[in-house]
Amino acid sequence: MRVLVTGGAGYIGSHTLLELTAQGHEVCVLDNYSNATPEVLTRVRSLSNGIIHDFIGDVRDTAKLDEVMQDFVPEAVIHFAGLKAVGESTEKPLLYYDVNVSGTLTLLRAMERAGCNRIIFSSSATVYGEPVYLPYDEAHPTNPTSVYGRSKLMAEQILTDWAATSPERTAVLLRYFNPVGAHASAQIGEDPTGVPDNLMPFIAQVAVGKRDALQVFGNDYDTPDGTGRRDYIHVVDLARAHVAALNYAQGATGARPFNIGTGQSYSVREMVAAFERACGKPIATKQVGRRAGDIAAMQADSSRANAELDWVATHDLDAMTASTWAWQSKNPDGYKGS
């Protein structure tokens, strides 16, 4: 299939390009490089035998989208392009609604003009908010607690209304849990700018000597060791979920959300111990208070994705930490080192 991948130069997008081209899909990236570097596509191309077109542009740019649609004529779109920092979203709500909500609207209008009827959307487990029960299934109430989370839920609602207008239209809403890890080549991986917000890249930067110690946010949660628990998913498993979603979209109609996680959860302390096994050295930690807005634990029930997308996560925690360490130790400064 001919697949337009917005945000394809980003962390999850770059891994997905490799899985798509490995399955024979022809891809076209649209990225404005606000959180990526062109070096990513150089590396992806060196790892892939497939066809990877690319355009530099913004998903809010109507003229650019029309140009891409006319040149590439996609049969489906995977929409990764977006902003994802929860803290920043509180400070810059209009920017987040503009990129994540208006960007999705602009893209859908361009798809309509081009007659493209299938979209796979990067949503997040954060749309659920404080758990009423765990594991979350897709019927769990949605009550996001941040601007970022609300922008994702609004985009989901727009996609759902759009998909309902014609039996030919499909929107697959993938609610990711916590993506971690890197490609087996150690050539592509997560490369956050500035101080990492998320646990795994922070631990990796401590291991490689770029940060002194991991701050452990809270030890008084109602969890076995008192630290927060999350459902971490290997980015290659997540990338493969997009290939599965494309296959599903060919025979589906309407919008449908899917949880993409492993169904297992690990605490901050367990993650540190697993990373120490992978890198063979101790990770310095400092216990501090809770981070505002954090919840104690989250975990996916991904049985719908297992059954309907014919997809299952296959990488375990050791594969997640080992691949993160391989990427970080070979690229201590991320893509900037090349």
Min separation Cβ 61 and ligand NAD, Å: 8
Among 91, 161, 294, 316, contact with ligand UD1 (rule: CB under 6 A): 294
Q: Backbone phi, then psi, for 165, in 5-degree steps?
A: -80, -15
For ligand NAD, the closer of residues 124 and 205 by Cβ is 124
- 62-72 and 103-114 helices cross at what angle (nearest 10)? 40
Which run of H or of E encompasses 139? none
Min separation Cβ 236 and ligand NAD, Å: 13
What is the rounded distance in angstroms from the CA atom of residue 267 to the CA atom of residue 226? 8
Q: Which does residue 328 bind out of ligand NAD, ligand UD1, none, counting CB within 5 to 8 angstroms by kind? A: none
Q: What is the widest separation between alpha-carbon atoms in the chain?
A: 56
What is the rounded distance in angstroms from the CA atom of residue 40 to the CA atom of residue 115? 30
Among 215, 219, 223, 306, contact with ligand UD1 (rule: CB under 6 A): 215
What is the rounded distance in angstroms from the CA atom of residue 335 to the CA atom of residue 40? 7
Options 4-12, 44-52, 58-66, 195-203: segment touching ligand UD1 (CB under 6 A): 195-203
Is residue 230 close enough to count as binding ligand UD1 by CB under 6 A?
Answer: yes
Residues 70-89 interacting with ligand UD1 (rule: CB under 6 A): 84, 86
Min separation Cβ 126 and ligand UD1, Å: 4
Is residue 268 close enough to count as binding ligand UD1 by CB under 6 A?
Answer: yes
| Cα-based angle 93, 132, 292 (whole degrees, multiple of 5) | 40
Q: Which does residue 216 bind out of ligand NAD, ligand UD1, none, counting CB within 5 to 8 angstroms by kind? A: ligand UD1
Q: Which does residue 268 bind out of ligand NAD, ligand UD1, none, counting CB within 5 to 8 angstroms by kind? A: ligand UD1
Among 32, 178, 262, 265, contact with ligand UD1 (rule: CB under 6 A): 178
Is residue 324 close enough to count as binding ligand UD1 by CB under 6 A?
Answer: no
For ligand NAD, the closer of residues 31 and 75 by Cβ is 31
Min separation Cβ 149 and ligand UD1, Å: 6
Among 96, 79, 91, which Cα is nearest to 154's?
A: 96
Residues binding ligand NAD (CB under 6 A):
6-7, 9-13, 31-36, 58-60, 80-84, 99, 103, 122, 124, 176, 179
Residue with tokens 């570097």: 37
Q: Residues touching ligand UD1: how many (CB under 6 A)?
A: 20
What number of other Cβ atoms are within 10 A of residue 333's Cβ? 11
Q: Backbone phi, then psi, for 116, in 5-degree steps?
A: -95, 125
Options 18-26, 44-52, 194-202, 300-308: segment touching ligand UD1 (CB under 6 A): 194-202
What is the rounded distance in angstroms from the CA atom of residue 206 to the CA atom of residue 40? 23
Candidates 11, 97, 136, 148; catalytic one: 148
Active-site residue flag, 266: no
Residue 239, C-beta contacts closer than 8 angstroms, at least 6 positions apart: 12, 15, 16, 18, 19
Q: Which does residue 60 bind out of ligand NAD, ligand UD1, none, counting CB within 5 to 8 angstroms by kind? A: ligand NAD
Among 74, 45, 54, 39, which Cα is nearest to 8's?
A: 54
What number of other Cβ atoms are within 10 A of residue 72's Cβ? 19
Q: Backbone phi, then psi, for 80, in 5-degree steps?
A: -90, -25
Q: Are 95 and 34 in contact (CB under 8 A)?
A: no
Q: Which does residue 294 bind out of ligand UD1, ligand NAD, none, counting CB within 5 to 8 angstroms by kind? A: ligand UD1
Active site residues: 148
**Residues forming the site for ligand UD1 (CB under 6 A):** 84, 86, 124, 126, 148, 178, 197-199, 202, 214-217, 228, 230, 268, 291, 293-294
